[in-house]
Structure 1
Amino acid sequence: MTPELMIKACTFYTGHIVTRIQQIFCCHRLTIILKKWREKAIYKNQKKEDEMLLKHELELQKWKDKLKLKVASKDASISPELSFSEVCFVGETREFDISLLPDRAISQVCMNPKLAKQLKIEKISRAWWRMPVVPATWEAEIDFSTVKNMITDKHVVSTLQRWRLNVLRLNFRGCLFRPKTFRSVSHCKNLQELNVSNCSTLTDESMRHISEGCPGVLFLNLSNTNITNRTMRLLPRHFHNLQNLSLAYCRKFTDKGLQYLNLGNGCHKLIYLDLSGCTQISVQGFRNIANSCSGIMHLTINDMPTLTDNCVKALVEKCLRITSVVFIGAPHISDGAFIALSTCNLRKIRFEGNKRITDTCFKFMGKNFPNMNHIYMVDCKGITDGSLRALSPLKQLTVLNLANCVRIGDIGLRNFLDGPASINIRELNLSNCVHLSDASVVKLSECCPNLNYLSLRNFEHLTHLGIEHIVYILSLVSVDLSGTAICNEAFCKSSLTLELLDVSYCSQLSDGIIKALAIYCIKLTSLSVAGCPKITDSAIEMLSAKCCYLHILDISGCVLLTDQSLEGLQIGCKQLRILKMLYCGHISKEAAHRMSSVVQQQEYSSNDPPRWFGYDCEGNPLTENQDRTPSKEVLELTLKESLLSSEEEEV
């Protein structure tokens, strides 16, 4: 070997060694930087957590002090001497004529009142009721359904005559007024929306007056009324701009009535049509709809056992603009209906309780409906993992509901999440999909960064390992984990945006999760801990102190709660609207009565929890014998009570 070659070889190998050393040094340096970054991140998170815990303890202590002061003020004896305010009102009160208030003040008081408030205003002052019609004062919507039990026909007629120029929307849902009262709607010349659903006293003659006087109606709801073909003849003649029509559960019109829709100018501007429960419609009736209303985009046909593939084919022949279909309660629809809908640009589909839909439908959907963004296929037993694999290419899919589809497994969900559909998914419901496990939840946390609503109800194979991965889905707003084995609060620590949480019937759940919610999830608006026997008053106290935005709370079956919990809710949760506390034996009727004046809707009972809850009135789990069959003593006691009641009836 010559010296030149030796020099070249040494230079080559030396250069490679130097490059390798530089790479090793760079990797080591990056490892050190990454380690320092991790330590710094852990320190920051720990510091932030400690600060939140300290803040929580301080606020909780303030809350307890405030609660003690309120209790002390209640227990304090009332002085027999009258206070200054009481002295001022002893004797006759000075009358004041409220009609003397300036018009500007009256306008502020009466700004956009509901009809129920208008009735109260009339009782307060007739001068207020006789105010001139000012668009900024009275709103353009009148809802008679909210006062249907307290308003008379005479008052309805006078109200419609007084505000006939301003009313744009009228709601008579469930009102049983006289037919003559409904005719007064014809005075509202500018009416655009009319809801007369569940009005059994509405007649064809009333609809004739309404159609002649209100030609500008855009939205018309006639569901569950007694209209016949006479009304169907009026629709195309007078409602030329009708866009939204509901004929749900109207059984007295026939296929011939649907043929009338093509008379005159026809209902060619109709966009939304609801024919739910109209079992009298045949294939010819759907063909008549297609000839009359070819511009339909949204079609709803629920509770229709007579609906078949031929009905859908007859409708789709000319209705090529359909973008959403809802067929809930149509068991005879099969894959052939989707083949017929291939000519449409479907974006939303809703099915429920159908056994004829198979994987073929989903394969066809994945190939022919690229703009699909909403799929609701609940309780469809024929759906398997192959269906999820076919849906994975749908890039615009945002809502997927496959609840009660029991044949879906981890493999199918993994294939779906590996596709582009997982990026934009916002809502995912996999309730009662019993074959899914922790692997599916781990995959969800990796592939769904924009997921907002997640339901994992009754996941039998879900453990704490899978639940802990939920924290990595930072965009979650609503989580349903009811009936699962959740027993810790780990998933709450990163769910700072959580607003709705359902952890009902998780028997191992204790006060720890409520404490975590109070610390980390202060934006919570709805919470259900029904069927959790280990929840105590201290947990509700912490919840009341921090979660001030709570609107809905379900504590049914929390047998350890007492009146103290309700006192805390009254003070802290000022926005609470709905409260359910069934089977709460330690909460007294007096406390429940006081709470009913604070919330808008309340359900209460002090009975023992039913056996299917799995525990007794003290929160102790039931044995197998107790759970399945009642004891002999209970049977004898029940028999004696039935005999006594029968004897009393005879007497």
Structure 2
Amino acid sequence: MTGDYYLPQECWECVIRFLNTDDDDRNLEPLSLVSKQLFSIINRVRISLTFYKQDITISNDRGLRFSCSLPNTILCRLFQRFTNLTSLNFTYFRGDLNKVLLQISFFPLKLKSLNLSNHSTIPQNGLRALSQKITTVTSLTCSHIIFIHKYDFYIIVDCYPFLEELDLSFPKHIDKNTNILPSELPKLRKVNLSGDYYIDDSFLFDLCKNCKFLEEVTVLDSKNLTHVGIDSAIRERPNLKSLSISFSKNVGRMYVKSELINSLKCLKGLTCLNLSFSCISDKMLSSLAEKGLPLKKLVLKHCSDYSYAGIFCLLSKYQFVQHLDLQYSSFLNDDHVAELSSFLRYLASINLSECSMLTESSLFALVRNCRFLNEIRMEYTSIGNLCEENHGFVVNTQVKSLHLAHNSLMKIENIKNFASICPNLRVLDMSYCFRISEGIVEVLRRWQIMDLILNLASCPRINLLGTNFQFTKLEVLNLSNSEVDNKTLHVISKSCCRLLQLDLEHCYHITDKGVRKAILNFSQIREINLRHCHSVDPNVDSWTTIVLSRPSLRKIMTPRIFPSCKKWKPALDHGCLVC
């Protein structure tokens, strides 16, 4: 009988990948508990791994320091468990990056992607050691590095000359003599050099001329580029598929002139165009519409000097646009959105934040007409100025994310209507909506939602107390800057059994007793934020006991630095990050 139902491991791997279509490893946890075989297969299916602190150092008021380092044996166990890793992320890592890259170089990995962002410098020695043993890396991300030295570029080019994707965006400081040799990266396809003030016209021209496979260029917040330079550069690379260009706010807006438009019209395969913070005209948009480019993504965030006539002319010709960003298009009204939505039937995401004249009528029109719509952003609008009843609005089961923060007029009646037309939400952001108060529990019951992320930050009148409140599918809850107290927290802990992350930052009415009692009820809690919760007592012994009794807890953001740092060692050894 067992043999009749046997499946080869390759088949199980295909099944698991099919079930995990959104690449969220949390979806695989229930499967991993079924059997040792599935647990082993899931470990092989996982291709990405994110590292957190390896060297954890805590300081107290006396200047004492306690450090807990994960030995090389931990890395060995990780790579023996996850044998098919192709991507490593060190964005949150705060240990010795050179050292850990050297250690990783001794393992037979086939890495393709490496993320070293948010560090003080680029780890030259670690990169060189890793590249000598692992030569398969084709994607390198070093975004938000505090200081980039000119030799960093030579190290990158020398270590990985066959890079296809390179991200060196938004460094804090950069050597003025820094220069990268585009001709030394012949296979480069995607490059992001946003915020790199050394980028000028000649550099962009050389980049486009020498990198023959270049398809995606992102240079946002640039200081030294001109429209003439951009024009000449993109003419050298007619196979570009994605172009994102904007000037630094300190320089002023980029005026998109006819020469640049003519160059854009030559990019016959252009699918993504981002001209954020630019000055564009209706004539420019009309001219661009005539060419009929295969645009799937259009970003005109904070653009000026154009009107509805221009955007209508463009979008009426580009009806296959899937991602549209018109943030701060202050001329838009509800009738405009209704008209645009009638022919943008393939729209998947839209950003209409800071369009101050828009009300809930625009949201209803989008949900009704755009059947593939997945995400709607309407922050800082006038939702709540009207209060339309749901008289025959079509239900859209595709909408998964609804971002409605900073709508000060929005009321509970609006949320009820949204619940009836978007029953499958996974992300709901109502932060800074000050009028949301009574009745929110009844609305939340209407959503039969998987993996909901609920943001109610800075909603001081919110009331989550209610009879028979069972919200078992809630996984992420943000109640920061709210009036939540111990009683409310206890109700939440009883009702939200699957909660993974809880944010209570700046909640002054909760105490350590209430928090400890709640955590014991959250059977799967992983992360809790208690920053600036001044009534929470820094009792290390109590918290250590909680960590040891709640194996799922992996991160605690404390109200302040706790004394007696050495007492944290059992929690740290248990795998809980204290910060």
Q: Does 1:473 align with 2:441?
A: no
Q: Offset of 1:542 from its aligned partner?
A: 2.3
Q: Offset of 1:358 from its aligned partner?
A: 2.1
Task: Report what 1:563 is aligned to.
Answer: 538
Task: Report what 1:10 is aligned to.
Answer: none
User: Which whole-Å deviations, capped at 9, do the CAs of 1:50-78 have from their partners, x for residues lacking one?
Assistant: xxxxxxxxxxxxxxxxxxxxxxxxxxxxx
Task: Report what 2:365 is aligned to.
Answer: 390
Q: Offset of 1:106 from its aligned partner?
A: 12
Q: Does 1:503 align with 2:503?
A: no
Contact 1:501 1:526 in 2 (8 A): yes
Q: Does 1:249 align with 2:203?
A: no
User: Which whole-Å deviations, capped at 9, do the CAs of 1:269-298 have from their partners, x for residues lacking one?
Assistant: x22222133634532353144134232222
Contact 1:384 1:407 in 2 (8 A): yes
User: Which whole-Å deviations, capped at 9, do the CAs of 1:581-603 have from their partners, x for residues lacking one?
Assistant: 55xxxx7741689669846573x
1:463-612 alignment runs, 5 A limit? 463-475=437-449, 477-482=452-457, 483-490=459-466, 493-507=469-483, 509-564=484-539, 566-567=543-544, 569-572=546-549, 574=551, 576=553, 579-582=556-559, 589-590=562-563, 598=572, 600=577, 602=579
Task: Report what 1:321 is aligned to.
Answer: 294
Residue aligned with 2:332, SS: coil
CA distance in 1, matches of 2:495, 2:466: 11
Which one-letter code corresponds to 2:328 in the other structure? G
User: Which whole-Å deviations, capped at 9, do the CAs of 1:135-155 have from their partners, x for residues lacking one?
Assistant: x33623444546554845xx3
User: Which whole-Å deviations, capped at 9, do the CAs of 1:439-498 have from their partners, x for residues lacking one?
Assistant: 333334444321222233344444433432321212161222341533343388331110
Given candidates 336, 340, 345, the residue that maps to 2:309 is: 336
Which one-letter code corresponds to 1:293 in the other structure? L
Task: Report what 2:257 is aligned to.
Answer: 283
Given candidates 229, 243, 261, the residue that maps to 2:201 is: 229
Task: Report what 1:453 is aligned to.
Answer: 427
Contact 1:170 1:195 in 2 (8 A): yes
Question: TM-score, normalized by length of structure 1?
Answer: 0.64
CA distance in 1, matches of 2:468, 2:308: 42
Contact 1:566 1:591 in 2 (8 A): no
The structure with the greater share of residues assigned to helix is: 1
> What are the ranges of 5 or more consecutive residues in structure 1 without an aligned counterpart?
1-97, 603-651
Q: Offset of 1:580 from its aligned partner?
A: 4.2
CA distance in 2, matches of 1:212, 1:233: 12
1:222–1:118 distance in 2 versus 1, CA, 3 Å: closer
Residue aligned with 1:411, SS: coil
CA distance in 2, matches of 1:441, 1:122: 49
Given candidates 436, 439, 462, the residue that maps to 2:413 is: 439
Task: Report what 2:50 is aligned to.
Answer: none
Residue aligned with 1:274, SS: strand
Contact 1:518 1:543 in 2 (8 A): yes
CA distance in 2, matches of 1:182, 1:295: 30
Contact 2:97 2:123 in 1 (8 A): no
Given candidates 151, 154, 166, the residue that maps to 2:136 is: 166
Residue aligned with 1:137, SS: coil
1:172–1:473 distance in 2 versus 1, CA, 3 Å: closer
Contact 2:403 2:428 in 1 (8 A): yes
CA distance in 2, matches of 1:594, 1:292: 65
1:595–1:479 distance in 2 versus 1, CA, 3 Å: farther
Q: Does 1:273 align with 2:246?
A: no
Which has the higher relative contact order, 1 or 2, with Cα contacts under 8 A spaced 6 or more apart? 2
Residue aligned with 1:352, SS: coil
1:294-305 alignment runs, 5 A limit? 294-302=268-276, 304=277
CA distance in 1, matches of 2:111, 2:526: 27
Contact 1:326 1:349 in 2 (8 A): yes
Percent identity between matched residues is 14
Given candidates 90, 98, 114, the residue that maps to 1:119 is: 98
Residue aligned with 2:243, SS: strand
Given candidates 347, 352, 367, the residue that maps to 1:372 is: 347
Residue aligned with 1:261, SS: helix
Contact 1:160 1:185 in 2 (8 A): no
User: Which whole-Å deviations, capped at 9, do the CAs of 1:175-195 have from their partners, x for residues lacking one?
Assistant: 645435423444434311112
Contact 1:434 1:461 in 2 (8 A): yes
Q: Offset of 1:369 from its aligned partner?
A: 0.9
Q: Does 1:182 align with 2:158?
A: no
Given candidates 360, 363, 366, the residue that maps to 2:338 is: 363
Question: TM-score, normalized by length of structure 2?
Answer: 0.71
Residue aligned with 1:378, SS: coil
1:383–1:110 distance in 2 versus 1, CA, 3 Å: closer
The structure with the greater share of residues assigned to strand is: 2
Q: Offset of 1:161 from its aligned partner?
A: 6.4
CA distance in 1, matches of 2:179, 2:415: 57
CA distance in 2, matches of 1:122, 1:389: 51
Q: Does 1:401 align with 2:377?
A: yes
Residue aligned with 1:328, SS: coil
Q: Offset of 1:246 from its aligned partner?
A: 0.6
Task: Report what 2:186 is aligned to.
Answer: 215
CA distance in 2, matches of 1:150, 1:215: 22
1:386–1:157 distance in 2 versus 1, CA, 3 Å: closer
Number of residue-to-residue matches in the alignment: 481
CA distance in 2, matches of 1:534, 1:308: 52
